A and B are shown apart, each in its own frame.
Chain A
Amino acid sequence: MFTTNRRVALFVSSILLLIAAVILVFQQTQNQPWQQYQRMYFKRTQQPADIRVRQVVPQLTGQPELCLSCHMGLAEISPSHPVEAFGCISCHGGNGLSLKADQAHTGLRGGKNPGDLLVAQESCGLNCHNGFADEGKNHVDGVLRSLQGTYAGGIAQVRFSFGAQSTETPLYGVYGITDDHPATAAGLAELTAFPAQSGHPIDQKFAENCLDAGCHLSAAPRAEPYFYRSTGCAACHVIYQNDGLYQGSDPTIPPDEPGHMRRHELTAAIPFYQCNHCHNRGNYSLRQMDFLLRDDLPPAGAPISAQMPAEGRRLREYYQPIGEFTLCEWELDCIECHTSAEIMGDGDIHPKQQEMQYTQCHTCHGTLEELPTVVTVSAQHQTALRQAQINPNYTLNIGDQVIITERGELMGNTKQVDGRLILTSKVTGKTYPVNPVMGSGCQQTVAEQESRYCHQCHAYAR
């Protein structure tokens, strides 16, 4: 039998245990990861803490999403994709009703990147960037068939050179792809997925050392400075710093961990160093079937840094020592001249790079005998007007006079004003005069207009 004192002690201690348990529950419910992220966010941004579940009900789906409860401070992906309209799930997939990372991230399209080519048709293409009668608007299909995606020309050249296939016409892409209606004469109907296990001596090594080592849009990049980037659509449209550090306010992304986007932003104003995450980072050695890195790059950091004057650094980073280039080729950004069809494809499966890389010096500068071709923008030039609309750095209006390429693409960032051509940078908004060859002291013959001929006089010394 218990004495009264022991009874009281037992009763009191059991009640205390119960109170302790309840306190633990309260404490746990106040310290969920999402609450800790919000505390971190408010501390970093030096705002008074206002910790509560953040819900968005996007107009497109009408389904509540809680993603921003953890991902506070994440920049809006782009003005064309306002979060109030799209939310997160429309593009990313996943479960917007959970505040637990593992549950919330179940079913994410393409992991962190819904623009990956494996899922882009669903995440970007479905109802938005695919499915139009006008192929120029089917960007996802275009990219999937583009050389940046398929690498068809490179694969065909390598396999043909090594005797692995008897024709220079591409048979294989990084992935298999078809085109029911090729619009150009050279357009292919089909590519088969690269046969890494074909048994031919080069195929496996080619796949491992080149194709899977970062040489096309669906390959994961090398995890090292200068190479950090995403894949698929985001490989170009989501900017990565050379050091791969995140500069936004999302507390779930460690600011000191390399390998993250600069900010959660899609952009059409793509700077040169984004292209450089793939291009001009080294050389292919066919003999070794390997990729040899450049050894002349300064330590990665923000591209404009105190370590080196901006211009000098840019000169070092842009091209390899063996590259020949003119002033405009390193002063401007790649996308000032290379058009979206060149980069993102025109909807056809093209067999080689020369087919698609058609912007040359004469496109903007003309020849000794001709000025560049200029057209007046009208309502029928919807593609160019749309491109200008999504880029904040230049404007294009009906009635403007702009340069047109030999394939009929408008270079909307050029403009003829008072008889003089001016180029506005798509990346910085700076303007540059576009001087015509005609009337200059140039002695180039009209038949030789590829850039290599221009480089003979205009090559810039490093």
Chain B
Amino acid sequence: MIQITPPPRRRFGIRLWRKNKSFIYNLHPPQIPAAGARLTYTFGLGGLAVLATIITIVTGILLTFYYVPTVEQAYPSLALIDSVVAFGGFVRSLHYWAAQLMVVFAALHMARVVFTGGYRSPRDFNWLIGVGLFVIVLLWDFTGYTLRWDEGSIWALLVGTNLLKEIPGIGEGLYRLIVGDTALGNSALLRFYAWHIMGLTLPGIGAVGYHIWRIRVDGGISHPAPTRARPRTFITRKTLFFRETITAIAATAALIILSALAPPVLGAIANLETAGASETKAPWFFLAIQEMLRYLSPLWAGWLIPLAGLALLALIPLFDRRGPGRGEWFARIRWQPQVIFAGLTLVVVVLTLIAAAR
């Protein structure tokens, strides 16, 4: 008698669609090492930075419907968004806070990677991508800040662009390239707008995608090598996806509440003739540089020291190439990169606090 084995039941409907078609479902491999996906290991910081980026981009697209990047109309159009456009003030607030949190989450994510040794080979290249992304995030925030065209932002723009002139040899040329004129005006505003919504955003999105893709290529989020006492365990992508969903919903809700309760300020309209006459505080993520400018020459404070700091960050994988301690928080054996990072952070935080207290 011939035994006929029934063919395996085909899966229909949503399950099949999810498996074959869903982009999000297939972002993750079917199984993920549990140690790398633990909340107390990553705190979800990279994911939160991506979430903040997505919210910033979506709200940014909405803002482009009303924002007019001309000297005459920039500030009035923001006032219009804040006042008249349905939920305009909220969308701008959400854009602002998501962007600020993007900087915060990206910085904390970097700290997590340093203090857990996640930058090590094979993830060293992805660390470099990450450092590049951090620079993009800062420039995103800075260009966005200047688009407000209020007193504070025009001051930051003036100082920021004048720093360009301090670069020996190419400074003047670079200034004209970036500002588009011999002084700030419509061309500068339009260029910063173009960089903000296109020039930085397209590479930013590409780099985020590449950064995420590399996680999978590099064998998932960093995790400790398995031992006999601690064998490798796995979670399914469904579990990870569930965690991500819950975190994203809760974080979005928190961001919405923050945005509703603390709308960003819009100062008095910028006046190009009096810009720079009185000192204003730089945006918070550049306060440290503003403070250094008080003590050092612009070339050192504005360029050489910040670039050296960035270079040091980028080179961290070189100081710690192999050996135990990967995937562990604060492993003593990897003390050098941690000290470098903590030292840099301390300097930036102290300078920022001094500048903020002024």
Whole-angstrom distance from the CB of B320 to the nearest CB of chain A? 33
Partner of B268, one of A22, A25, A106: A106
A304 on the interface (CB 8 Å rule)? no
Task: Indicate which residue in B245, B259, B269 contacts A95 across the interface (CB closer than 8 Å).
Answer: B269
Q: Tell me if B268 and A24 are in contact (CB < 8 A).
A: no
Complex-state Cα separation, A106 to B260, whole angstroms:
23
Segment of B81-89, B162-170, B291-299 engaged in the interface with chain A: B81-89
Question: B316-345 interface mask toward A, CB cutoff 8 Å, 1 = contact, 0 = none?
Answer: 000000000000000000000000000000
- Complex alpha-carbon distance, A20 and B77, angstroms: 30
Per DSSP, are chain A's interface residues mostly helix, strand or loop, or mixed? Answer: helix
B277 to chain A, nearest CB (A): 16
Contact A21 B269 (CB under 8 A): no
Contact indicator A97/B250 (Cβ below 8 Å): no
Contacts of B257 in A (CB 8 A): 20-21, 24
Q: Is A29 an interface residue (CB 8 A)?
A: yes
Q: Give the chain A neighbours of B82 by CB distance below 8 A.
A: 98-100, 103
Residues of A within 8 A of B89 (CB): 29
CA distance A34 to B82 in the complex (A): 13
Interface residue ranges of A96-111 to B (CB < 8 Å): 97-100, 103-104, 106-107
What residues of chain B lie closer than 8 Å to A308, measured between beta carbons? Answer: none
The CA-CA distance from A11 to B250 in the complex, in Å, is 9
Distance A168 CA – B249 CA, assembled complex (angstroms): 81
Is residue A185 contacting chain B, with contact meaning CB distance below 8 A?
Answer: no
Provide the B221-247 mask, 1 if CB < 8 A to any CB of A, else 0. Answer: 000000000000001000100100110
Nearest to B256 among chain A residues (CB) is A21
**Any A CB within 8 A of the CB of B90:** yes
A137 vs B79: C-alpha distance in the bound complex, in angstroms? 38
- Give chain B nearest CB distance to A95 CB in angstroms: 6
> Can you list, as one digit per residue, whether each of A9-33 has a CB less than 8 Å from chain B (1) or not (0)?
0110011011011101100110000
Asked whether A1 is an interface residue with its Cβ less than 8 Å from the other chain, the reply is: yes
Min Cβ gap B140→A in Å is 24
The residues in B between 63 and 101 inclusive whose CB is less than 8 angstroms from any CB of A are 75-77, 79-80, 82-84, 86-87, 89-90
Known: A28-B260, A95-B79. A20 touches B253 (CB 8 A): yes
Do A7 and B260 contact each other (CB < 8 Å), given the known contacts A14-B253, A98-B79, A103-B266?
no
Interface residues of B in 236-284 (CB under 8 A from A): 239, 242, 245-246, 249-250, 252-254, 256-257, 259-261, 266, 268-269
Q: Are B76 and A97 in contact (CB under 8 A)?
A: yes
Closest chain B CB from A418 CB (angstroms): 61
Chain B residue numbers with a CB within 8 Å of A20 are: 253, 257
A103 to B77, CA, bound (A): 12
Point out which of A2, A18, A66 has the most chain B C-beta atoms below 10 A from its C-beta: A18
A53 CB–B CB distance under 8 Å? yes
**How near does chain A come to B261, taking the closest CB pair, in angstroms?**
8
The smallest C-beta distance from A103 to any residue of chain B, in angstroms, reads 5
B265 closest partner in A (C-beta): A102
A21's partner among B79, B83, B86, B253 (CB-CB below 8 A) is B253
Q: Chain B interface residue count: which class?
A: 20 to 34
Inter-chain CA distance A1–B245, complex, in Å, is 16
The answer for the CA separation of A330 and B103 in the assembled complex, in Å, is: 73
Interface string of A42-66 (1 = CB under 8 A from B): 0000000000010000000000001
Residues of B contacting A99 in the complex (Cβ-Cβ under 8 angstroms): 82-84
Contacts A14-B249, A20-B253, A25-B87; A97 near B79 (Cβ below 8 A): yes
| Cβ-defined contact, A25 with B269, below 8 A | no
- Are B249 and A15 closer than 8 Å at their CB atoms? yes
Q: Are A25 and B90 in contact (CB under 8 A)?
A: yes
Q: Say whether A25 contacts B260, CB under 8 Å.
A: yes
Interface 0/1 of A174-215, CB less than 8 Å to B: 000000000000000000000000000000000000000000
Known contacts A11-B246, A98-B79; is A25 also within 8 Å of B256 by CB?
Answer: yes
B269 contacts across to A, CB distance below 8 A: 95, 106-107
With a 10 A CB-CB cut-off, give which of B82, B83, B87, B254 has the most chain A CB atoms: B83
Given contacts A22-B256, A95-B76, contact A28 B83 (CB under 8 A): no
Q: Please give, as numbers and ranges, the residues of chain A lying within 8 Å of B235 by CB-CB distance.
A: 1
Verify A18–B253 contact, CB threshold 8 A.
yes
A29–B87 contact, CB under 8 A?
Answer: yes
- For the complex, what is the distance from the CA of A66 to the CA of B268, rounded to whole Å? 18
- Once the chains bind, are A18 and B256 in contact (CB under 8 Å)? yes
Most buried by B among A1, A25, A53, A106: A25
Contact A21 B246 (CB under 8 A): no
Q: How far is the CB of A61 from chain B (nearest CB, A)?
A: 12
Q: Is the CB of B250 within 8 A of A17?
A: yes
Chain A residues lying within 8 Å of B80, measured Cβ to Cβ, are 97-98
Q: Which residues of A contact B268 (CB under 8 A)?
A: 106-107
Shortest beta-carbon distance, B330 to chain A, in Å? 27
In the assembled complex, the Cα of A392 lies from the Cα of B21 at a distance in Å of 79
- Within 8 Å CB of A18, what residues of B? 249-250, 252-253, 256
Flag B181-208 by CB within 8 Å of A: 1 or 0 each: 0000000000000000000000000000
Closest to B268 in A: A106
Q: How far is B266's CA from A1's CA once the two chains are assembled, in angstroms?
A: 47
Whether B84 lies near A66 (C-beta < 8 A) is yes
Roughly how many angstroms separate A17 CA and B251 CA in the complex, as a whole number?
A: 10
Determine the chain A residues whose CB is within 8 A of the CB of B250 once the complex forms.
Answer: 14, 17-18
Interface residue ranges of B85-135 to A (CB < 8 Å): 86-87, 89-90
A18 to B51, CA, bound (A): 15
Q: Name the A residues within 8 Å of B77 (CB-CB).
A: 97
A-B contacts besides A10-B246, A100-B82, 9 pairs, CB < 8 Å: A14-B250, A17-B249, A21-B257, A29-B86, A29-B90, A98-B79, A100-B83, A104-B79, A106-B269
Give 19 A-B contacts (CB < 8 Å), ordered by A residue.
A1-B239, A7-B242, A15-B249, A18-B253, A21-B253, A21-B256, A24-B257, A24-B260, A25-B87, A28-B260, A29-B89, A34-B83, A95-B76, A95-B269, A97-B76, A97-B83, A99-B82, A106-B268, A107-B268
Q: Give 10 closest A-B pairs by Cβ, nearest first.
A: A99-B83, A98-B79, A21-B256, A14-B249, A17-B253, A21-B253, A18-B253, A97-B79, A106-B268, A97-B80
- A residues neighboring B (CB under 8 Å): 1-2, 7, 10-11, 14-15, 17-18, 20-22, 24-25, 28-29, 34, 53, 66, 95, 97-100, 103-104, 106-107
Report which B residues bind A (CB closer than 8 A): 75-77, 79-80, 82-84, 86-87, 89-90, 235, 239, 242, 245-246, 249-250, 252-254, 256-257, 259-261, 266, 268-269
